[in-house]
Amino acid sequence: MLKISNLHATVGETEILKGLSLELNPGEIHAIMGPNGAGKSTLAYALGGRPGYEVTKGSASFDGTDLLDIDPHERAAAGLFLGFQYPVEIPGVSNLQFLRESLNSQRKERGEKELSGAEFIRLAKEKAALLKMDMDMLKRAVNVGFSGGEKKRNEMVQMGILDPKLAILDETDSGLDIDALRIVGSGINAIMRKPDKAVLLITHYQRLLDEVKPDFVHVLADGRIVKTGGPELALQLENEGYEAIAEAA
Amino acid sequence: MTLAQTLPTKADEAWRYADLKAVESVWQAVDMPESVVVAAGQSEQKTLILETGEAQIRQLHIVLEEGARVDVACLAAAPGYGRVEIDIDVASGAHFEMGGAIVGADDQTLEIVTRVNHHAPDATSNQVVRSVLAGKATGSFLGKIDIARDAQRIDAEQSVKSMLLNRGATANAKPELEIYADDVKCAHGATVGELDKQALFYMASRGLDPVTAKRLMLHAFVADAFVDVDGETSAVEEQALAALEALL
Ligand SMILES: Nc1ncnc2c1ncn2[C@@H]1O[C@H](COP(=O)(O)OP(=O)(O)OP(=O)(O)O)[C@@H](O)[C@H]1O
Ligand SMILES: [Mg+2]
């Protein structure tokens, strides 16, 4: 589904990703762990097409499409979803309006029929309920005045509504309280654990991986994947830390 | 700012950002200032829209009697030069509310110029101006507030925000406060910014095409200046949004 080969990316003048390769097949959940500053968010942004994150070498193909060759909104329409480590506030634009326009913009791009207001509201209610989010929050401006945890939960409501094929979730667990973590974890499972979908979970903590069980765990250090294993690798990291494992690799 | 009788020059403070060539071309044809008196305790709404005509100057002189209120909504989006001038006397207990939008591109020069004369105590005024400027357009707001010595307990606010879509565009915001009373509240703020790039990427990451993303943000920005009427977007706001379409 996603095939990243020898990806190099720079931010400003600095090379952050230094030859990263990774492959995700349909039905798989992968976790990426790694020290602060290793380049995890940079990987997410480079795949999402954020301006300023320049891919200088390598490739990334998504269901056969050259991801790096299309615009960010086209990547979304192709089925890519980015859960932000720091979701952005958009004053004056309501969540519902934003999501309805986004979904319809995607559908138009794919040549599908746009959703009516009533159809959209039904969908939004269903996904908000799945994440136990109050509909009133969806009427408010996007992320404005939301607490850190509410922002993360809102990311998952958005994911539910947009129903992507591939989700890259950047520290969606950080900032969530214990109950919220469970709700978000089961939300991710409900929305994304399907034979034709895949997830790349970026996280620092085992707690999320207890909820959303990964098939593979990768360690990203200094711009590369330095080690890959099964779920047990996350436990080993939690016990031993990155340094020992990155050195041994 | 008594409305000028003779052709203004750059030396006239209230005309410093004007396109004086355009002003000269229409000076003879400018209508006399429109006069509005809102009687004690009454309220009125006024709408001023400049969106056609190469050069247009509209002047409004309002007198608010005791306890009166006026709500002015204006839009400056004339294709060449457009200027809205409002000169208002506010009696005690009265309220002046103004929402204005400036929407310009190309070589447009657009301005909203107000003078609020608080000559009596216990009155309020609130002015909100939002400008969106592209191309080489210039948008200016000059807002003079005079508060006389006896006009105590005045609350006069101005909020002016401009959004520049190109490097060639210019926004001017010039508050001018002349306050002779000592017990007054005068909050004024002016900012100039650009579209938030982080928000644009966030929106794109959800699948919004760039034009729709920009439209959503600019609509939200301009909407600050206007209030809905009976739950519906006001006519002047609709016109402002239509003018924005040309900038996307
Ligand atoms: N604009 C920039 N200019 C230069 N360096 C940058 C810029 N933005 C990010 N970096 C650097 O890129 C490196 C990778 O950052 P990134 O956000 O990808 O790390 P991360 O693995 O997500 O870390 P964390 O676990 O803390 O979220 C960091 O060293 C960071 O300082
Ligand atoms: Mg990060």
Instruction: Quick: pLDDT tens for B144-188.
Output: 999 999 999 999 999 999 999 999 999 999 999 999 999 999 998
What's the pLDDT at A79? 97
Name which of B170, B185, B204, B210 is nearest B124 in CA terms: B185
What's the pLDDT at A198? 98
- The pTM of the full predicted model, rounded to 2 decimals, is 0.92
- Give the residue whose CA is nearest to atom 31 of ligand 1: A37
Ligand 1 pocket residue status of A239, Cβ below 6 Å: no
Interatomic CA distance for residues A155 and B169, integer angstroms: 36
- One-letter amino acid at A21 equals S
Shortest alpha-carbon distance between residue A249 and chain B (Å): 34
Instruction: Quick: pLDDT tens for B187-237.
Output: 989 999 999 999 999 999 999 999 999 999 999 999 999 988 788 889 999
Instruction: Quick: pLDDT tens for A168-221.
Output: 999 999 989 999 999 999 999 999 999 999 999 999 999 999 999 999 999 999
Q: Does residue B25 have a pLDDT over 90?
A: no
Cα A143-A147-A149 angle, rounded to 5 deg: 100
Shortest alpha-carbon distance between residue A104 and chain B (Å): 8
Superfamily designation of domain A2-248: P-loop containing nucleotide triphosphate hydrolases (3.40.50.300)
Which residues are within 8 A (CB) of A130 and not within 5 positions of it... i.e. 6 or more apart? A157, A160, A187, A190, A191
Q: Tell me the backbone φ, ψ of residue B96, rounded to 5 degrees.
A: -110, 125
What's the pLDDT at B131? 98
Centre of ligand 1 from the C-alpha of residue B45, in Å: 53
Rounded to a whole number of angstroms, the CA Rg of chain B reads 18
Interatomic CA distance for residues A170 and A175, integer angstroms: 12
In a 3-state reduction of DSSP, which class is residue A218?
Answer: strand
How many Cβ atoms from other residues are within 10 Å of residue A111's Cβ?
7
Name which of A97, A80, A90 is nearest A44 in CA terms: A80
Find chain A residues with C-beta within 8 A of B196's C-beta.
88, 90
In chain A, what are the domain boundaries? Answer: 2-248
In chain B, what are the domain boundaries? Answer: 13-193
Ligand 1 pocket residue status of A27, Cβ below 6 Å: no
Tell if the CB–CB gap between B209 and A73 is shorter than 8 Å. yes
- One-letter amino acid at A99 equals L
- One-letter amino acid at A202 equals I
Question: What ipTM was assigned to the predicted interfaces of this complex?
Answer: 0.96
Q: Does residue B1 have a pLDDT over 50?
A: no
Q: Which two tokens stand for residue B56?
A: 């247009």
Instruction: Quick: pLDDT tens for A226-244.
Output: 999 999 999 888 888 888 7
Residue identified by tokens 């309501």 is A94
What single string gives the DSSP state of each residue in A61-88?
EETTEEGGGS-HHHHHHHTEEEE-SSPP
Interatomic CA distance for residues B130 and B111, integer angstroms: 11
